[in-house]
Amino acid sequence: MPVLTRLIPSPVVVDIRPGALDDLAGLLADQRISGSGRLSIAISGGSGRALRERFAPVLPGADWFPVADGTIDSAVRLADDIKGSRRYDAVVGLGGGKIIDVAKYAAARVGLPMVAVATNLSHDGICSPVSTLDNDNGRGSYGVPTPIAMVVDLDVIRDAPVRFVRSGIGDAVSNISAIADWELSHRINGEPVDGLAAAMARTAGEAVLRHPGGVGEDEFLSVLAEALVLSGIAMSISGDTRPSSGACHEISHAFDLLHPKRAALHGEQVGLGAAFAMRLRGAHEESQLFTEVLRRHGLPVLPEEIGFSVDEFVRAVAYAPQTRPGRFTILEHLDLSTDQIRDAYSDYASTISS
Ligand SMILES: [Zn+2]
């Protein structure tokens, strides 16, 4: 008789609340994380300095590694630096989305568990098994283990640049569009949908989409942070980015690849991509709800609001399927010509009040 349910790779600690950083040293001293206190902590070169000053006295066994940027080169360099130093129990990424991505990749490379301490909520990579890094081709996604612990201090999030928090909203609500793509592929191609991963990712997206609060409120920030964590776990469950990445993300990846120097924040691009994809699949009311919610939070809903012309948007949508070969979304399904994309865009834009 089969009795085993599946085990989900997930952090041993998730701590999301105001003041969470006040207990960071105690959390890291957990025997499952770092009983010896020997930690390698990645921080940004800029705002990381203040974090280091705050935490160095309570983390005497830690070494600090400033990271220059969110490139794969920086991640490899960090791994080499960590390997060339002492023995550590874990790698801690203490900072924004880029620091977390770099620390996740470096930790995977040196075979150490990774603790994510997020100082903003810019994307769902804060607790996912994926590291997104800039490389010679623009930007790449690399598979890594899920973080062993996850800390979000809402007092810190409220002080973070609001644009980075808004970006997380776009990434969270885009789950709804990504799941619609997954279900479409199931109907058309018979691709299996992981029901648990879909449930977690969709519920996370809906919770953010339908929450009446805003980025200045703890209640909303809690839901947003939890939604991003659950999105990451959903990816661990399905073993790929399917629950959180569909046409919305293909469009964003196209912006990243075609315009690497001009790309906007990930969540800004995928939020816009999701609103447009909902329209493409004929979900007009949902598309309208997306644009209203994105607008309410100060996120872009039109390409010119992130510095791209309509022509550039149309080209990005046309190019998007090439960014994730093998992934079937509404874009691959409709296989639109450039003229058809332009018409669909006019349709979409006409529903948005200026
Ligand atoms: Zn994303």
Per-position DSSP letters for 245-291, written without gaps between them: -SHHHHHHHHHHHH-TTT---HHHHHHHHHHHHHHHTT-HHHHHHHH
Between the CA of 127 and the centroid of ligand 1 the distance, in Å, is 12
Between the CA of 174 and the centroid of ligand 1 the distance, in Å, is 8
Task: Read off the pLDDT of residues 102-138 as tens digits, 9 standing for 90 and up.
Answer: 999 999 999 999 999 999 999 999 999 999 999 887 7
Instruction: Give residue 354's pLDDT.
Output: 60
Is it the case that residue 2 has pLDDT exceeding 80? Answer: no
DSSP annotation of 210 reads T
Instruction: Give residue 194's pLDDT.
Output: 97
Average pLDDT over residues 135-164: 92
Q: Would you call 49 helix, strand, or coil by DSSP?
A: helix
Between the CA of 100 and the centroid of ligand 1 the distance, in Å, is 14
Neighbouring residues of 62: CB distance < 8 A, sequence distance ≥ 6: 37, 38, 39, 40, 41, 55, 56, 92
Q: Is the dihedral of CA 254, 260, 266, 268 positive or negative?
A: negative
Percentage with pLDDT > 90 across the chain: 90
Instruction: Give residue 352's pLDDT.
Output: 86
Between the CA of 14 and the centroid of ligand 1 the distance, in Å, is 20
Angle at 200 between CA 180 and CA 230, to 5 degrees: 120
| Full-model pTM | 0.94
Buried-exposed string 114-141: b where 16+ CB fall within 10 A, e elsewhere: bbbbbbbbbbbbbbbbbbbbbeeebbeb
- Burial class of residue 319 in the structure, from the number of CB atoms within 10 Å of its CB (0-12 exposed, 13-18 middle, 19+ buried): middle
Instruction: Give residue 185's pLDDT.
Output: 98
188 vs 1, residue with greater confidence: 188
Between the CA of 240 and the centroid of ligand 1 the distance, in Å, is 12
Between the CA of 252 and the centroid of ligand 1 the distance, in Å, is 9
Average pLDDT over residues 132-147: 89
Between the CA of 23 and the centroid of ligand 1 the distance, in Å, is 29
Assess contact for 174 and 253: CB atoms under 8 A.
no
Between the CA of 175 and the centroid of ligand 1 the distance, in Å, is 8
Name the band, by pLDDT with cuts 50, 70 and 90, for residue 7. Answer: confident
Between the CA of 125 and the centroid of ligand 1 the distance, in Å, is 7
Instruction: Give residue 188's pLDDT.
Output: 98
Is it the case that residue 1 has pLDDT exceeding 70? Answer: no
Between the CA of 112 and the centroid of ligand 1 the distance, in Å, is 25
Between the CA of 159 and the centroid of ligand 1 the distance, in Å, is 23
Between the CA of 124 and the centroid of ligand 1 the distance, in Å, is 6
Name the band, by pLDDT with cuts 50, 70 and 90, for residue 140. Answer: confident
Between the CA of 155 and the centroid of ligand 1 the distance, in Å, is 24
Between the CA of 170 and the centroid of ligand 1 the distance, in Å, is 8
Task: Read off the pLDDT of residues 311-345 as tens digits, 9 standing for 90 and up.
Answer: 999 999 999 999 999 999 999 999 999 999 999 99
Q: Give the residue from 294, 293, 310, 300 showing the smallest Cα distance to 347.
A: 310
Name the band, by pLDDT with cuts 50, 70 and 90, for residue 182. Answer: very high
Between the CA of 56 and the centroid of ligand 1 the distance, in Å, is 32
Place of tokens 């990434």: 171
Place of tokens 């100082």: 119
Between the CA of 132 and the centroid of ligand 1 the distance, in Å, is 9
345 vs 5, residue with greater confidence: 345
Task: Read off the pLDDT of residues 246-288 as tens digits, 9 standing for 90 and up.
Answer: 999 999 999 999 998 888 999 999 999 999 999 999 999 999 9
Q: How many CA atoms lie within 13 A of 93 on its CB side?
A: 35
Is it the case that residue 149 has pLDDT exceeding 70? Answer: yes
Instruction: Give CA–CA dist 167/269, Å, rounded.
Output: 9
Between the CA of 324 and the centroid of ligand 1 the distance, in Å, is 13
Task: Read off the pLDDT of residues 43-84 as tens digits, 9 standing for 90 and up.
Answer: 998 889 999 999 999 999 999 999 999 999 999 999 999 999
Between the CA of 289 and the centroid of ligand 1 the distance, in Å, is 19
Place of tokens 């390997």: 83
Instruction: Give residue 47's pLDDT.
Output: 82
Is it the case that residue 228 has pLDDT exceeding 90? Answer: yes
Between the CA of 237 and the centroid of ligand 1 the distance, in Å, is 16
Task: Read off the pLDDT of residues 280-295 as tens digits, 9 standing for 90 and up.
Answer: 999 999 999 999 999 9
Between the CA of 243 and the centroid of ligand 1 the distance, in Å, is 10
